[in-house]
Amino acid sequence: MFGKLVEDINKKFTKKTQIYKINDLKFSWEFEGIIELVNINNLITFCENVFKKQFNKQQSDDIFLKISNTRKLFKSHIDIVKKLIDNKTINVSKEYLNSFYWNFKTFIEEVFFNYLFYNHIHNDILYNNTFYDIDLFYEWKFLVLKKSVLDRKLIYLRSVHQINHEYQWLIDQLKYEINQIIFNIKTAKLKAII
């Protein structure tokens, strides 16, 4: 049941070229599916074409690490669907997995590409009329992504809990994690401001 659900979501979004524009530069990328998210080598090639230069090993490794960490984040929260999915929770599970695509799309376009762009021009990020350190901005926004994923997981668990009344301890644990990450987000944002 889980495999079919992932397959349906992947069919809907996979291989559609996405375009995101920063100033006059157009970044393109392709979603590779719920687990893979994006092909890192293709993403690097797309970005090299945008900047009209080849990335050095350190830059390529940085991209690889950032995408790998994002994959790990999503994968760690997808596994719960494998455990909880059944005929009663199929619609809630589908909505939860769909949210991963939209969270990733927003993150890669609004955070990752901005990080690459400002890193390329060796400038601080201007975001909402405030300047931020490039690396600290990325760390802050990655925490925001984590919170967004946790929020979606909480909604998912609450919905499943209404059907199967046995997940309150998971819900309580998740609320605690969300409260901790809110504090970490505030701290990271303050550190990132220049």
Q: Tell me what pLDDT residue 164 has.
A: 66
Neighbouring C-beta atoms of residue 157, cutoff 10 Å: 21
- Mean pLDDT across 55-62: 95
Q: What is this structure's pTM?
A: 0.90
- pLDDT grade, residue 116 (50/70/90)? very high
CB 178 within 8 A of CB 148: no
Domains of the chain, residue spans: 56-192
Measure the CA angle with vertex 29, ends 115 and 120; round to 5°: 30
Tell me: the pLDDT tens digits for 44-53? 999 999 999 9
Q: Tell me what pLDDT residue 167 has.
A: 80
Q: Which conformational region is residue 55 in: left (phi greater than 0), alpha (psi within -120 to 50 degrees), or beta?
A: beta
The beta strand positions in the chain, using DSSP E, are 17-22, 25-33, 37-38, 125-127, 130-132
Neighbouring C-beta atoms of residue 118, cutoff 10 Å: 21
CB 140 within 8 A of CB 133: no
Distance CA 108, CA 124 (A): 18
Tell me: the pLDDT tens digits for 143-184? 999 999 999 999 999 988 776 677 888 899 999 999 999 999
Cα→Cα distances 47→50, 52, 105, 193, Å: 5, 8, 16, 26
Three-state DSSP at 85 gives coil
